[in-house]
Amino acid sequence: MADTSFPFIVSSGPKVPRDPALRTLIRKQAMKDVGIARKKRGGHGRVNLRQHPTEEDTNAQNEASTSSSSTDSSTTSSAKSTPPEDTDTDATSTDGQLVLAGQTHDWLCDQVLTASLSNRNPSSGFDKLRMKYGFDVRDLSLLTSFNVGQSTMYAISETPELLITLLGCPDMQSYLQFIPSRYGHKPYLTAVVDCVSAKAHSRLRGPNVNCDAIVMRMYAKALASLQEAIACEDSSMDADLLCAIQMLSLHEMLDPQRAAAYTHHINGSALVIKKRTPARFKTEFEKLLFHSSIGPAFTNALYKEERCYLEDPEWMRLYESMIQETPGLTDRSEVVIRLRMRMLSLASMLVDTTRAMDPDTFDEGLLLVLELKCRQIHKEILECLEDYKAHVVRMSMAPVSHSELATRREVFGTALECLCVYKRILASLCEPERLRLENEAQAIAKLLLDLQDQPAPRHSWVYAAHEKGVAASIQATAEAWEEDLSHATFQEKRLAACARWKEFNSYLHGP
């Protein structure tokens, strides 16, 4: 007759069964109640977040997420979430008290970290992706904001720790908020989301050769899938394709050494947007895709010293249509959008002013047209600043959220920054007003620098760097702009104006 008794074992017991089969049986019985408890509290099937990315068949994974889970996948998930088995080398104290082994301690830390991400079992492909990499791509929403561009990449490449300050911004509107509902439907978008999630996981966990190699293979797969979709006429106008292109630029943002690749994705996104035309941006998802492309496209135009296509009336009307009436200040508030519309005009104004300030040419008609345009934009920026002040006064007695304060700081700095540059442009085009305009520009530049010493959100360096750069350029070139030329001839004044502008423009577009 077979022995059906179960030999109990305690930590201080003098004898430990040596039969491997019996030890396995003991472990299974010991973990049975633990597994039941884990299922009740929602911790069953979670993935160990300390593992590095593994390359899997994404399509197969998505199909599995939309159907009922198979027995094999359930078993695998359970195995990943269970603690490491005891071994003969696990440490125990002499008085019989159990001591946690290093592996068990790491496992417990993983469970706490996992629980902080979600308090429920992953029920969709996107939830499983979050659990797998311990990262939610929606936390990259700040990277889709207006002020993020090439200068952001350069700053992160010099100080990698800055990336942490850009993670998480729950109140910000971004196309990334639509990713959970769109994940798994289009293979190219799914591949890109997988790639960006793995890249973020790798970047935040620290360097690892094997992990980096896997991420690069996922990147190659996503890029190939994207190029195939672009070549297809049916999908080339798809909003999900534009989303995938813009998300791949986030991958480059997470790898600041690839600035050229980032620029390629920004240019590719602009081509797709122009091909779609403004009429195709109707849904909220499509409008947010357009909204996230504005800042990078404008910054790219500034770096390349060319006009920005967004200045065309049809694109301006699309941007204006995104205005939302809200009690607080957001990226969609009227004062914010109107101010940024004036800022977009700066790209062409710099190009035209540089052409007008060429000492070898003189076009009085062009100078007059530019002066009138500059005065109009200057007036509109002052009006935006007054609207901003009125909003602050109106909300002075109401509680203000952190996101509201962050937007206020950004808007105020942007208005001052634009005023500085437009005053310099106007001073170049109108010699009789140069000294007065220069005094105003110097005062604003000092205010901008003083603003850097005030409390600000942790991600304020993104736009503060622009402000400091403009203010420093104004102060560094002050001597030539404050020079009294009242007794100089017309030709001398003309040559001096050209030289002043050339120096200032080189500062603005400097490295």
Mean predicted confidence (pLDDT) in 125-141: 90
pLDDT band at 107 (very low <50, low <70, confident <90, very high): very low
In b/e form, how buried is each residue of 3-27, taking b as 16+ CB within 10 angstroms?
eeeeeeeeeeeeeeeeeeeebeebe
Cβ contacts of 280 within 8 Å, gap of 6 or more: 237, 286
| Dihedral angle sign, alpha carbons of residues 114, 253, 227, 238 | positive
Q: How far apart are the first and last CA of the chain?
A: 86
More confident: 19 or 340: 340
Residues 235, 229: contact at Cβ < 8 Å?
A: yes
Compute how many other C-beta atoms are within 10 angstroms of the C-beta atom of residue 55: 13
Q: For the segment 460-508, what is each residue's pLDDT rounded down to a tens digit?
A: 898 998 899 999 999 999 999 999 998 999 999 999 999 999 999 999 8
Q: What is the CA radius of gyration of the chain?
A: 30
Q: Where are the alpha helices (DSSP H) in 159-186?
A: 179-182
Single out the residue of 190, 214, 189 nearest to residue 201, CA to CA.
214
pLDDT at 195: 94
pLDDT at 157: 78
Q: For the segment 273-329, what is each residue's pLDDT rounded down to a tens digit?
A: 999 999 999 999 999 999 999 999 999 999 889 999 999 999 999 999 999 988 889
Mean predicted confidence (pLDDT) in 442-453: 95
Percent of residues, the chain, with pLDDT higher than 70: 75
In sequence order, what are the beta bridge partners of 158? none
Distance CA 406, CA 402 (A): 6
Using DSSP, state whether 92 is helix, strand or coil.
Answer: strand
Residues 195, 221: contact at Cβ < 8 Å?
A: yes
pLDDT band at 38 (very low <50, low <70, confident <90, very high): low
* pLDDT at position 122 over 70: no
pLDDT at 24: 64
| Interior angle at CA 37, CA 48 and CA 53, nearest 5 | 10
Q: What are phi and psi of 92, to 5 degrees?
A: -135, 150
Using DSSP, state whether 27 is helix, strand or coil.
Answer: helix
Matching residue, tokens 């770096």: 303
* pLDDT at position 399 over 60: yes
Q: Where are the alpha helices (DSSP H) in 99-149?
A: 102-117, 125-133
Average pLDDT, the chain: 80
Mean predicted confidence (pLDDT) in 122-134: 83
Matching residue, tokens 């008290």: 97
* pLDDT at position 430 over 90: yes
Residues 146, 295: contact at Cβ < 8 Å?
A: yes
pLDDT at 41: 52
Question: With the CA atoms of 357, 359, 364 and 370 taken in that order, what torsion angle do they form, in degrees rounded to the nearest 10?
Answer: -10
Which range has the worst mean pLDDT, 116-120, 210-214, 432-436, 438-442?
Answer: 116-120
Angle between helices 490-508 and 402-429 (to 10 degrees): 150
pLDDT band at 36 (very low <50, low <70, confident <90, very high): low
Angle between helices 461-476 and 402-429 (to 10 degrees): 30
Distance CA 496, CA 492 (A): 6
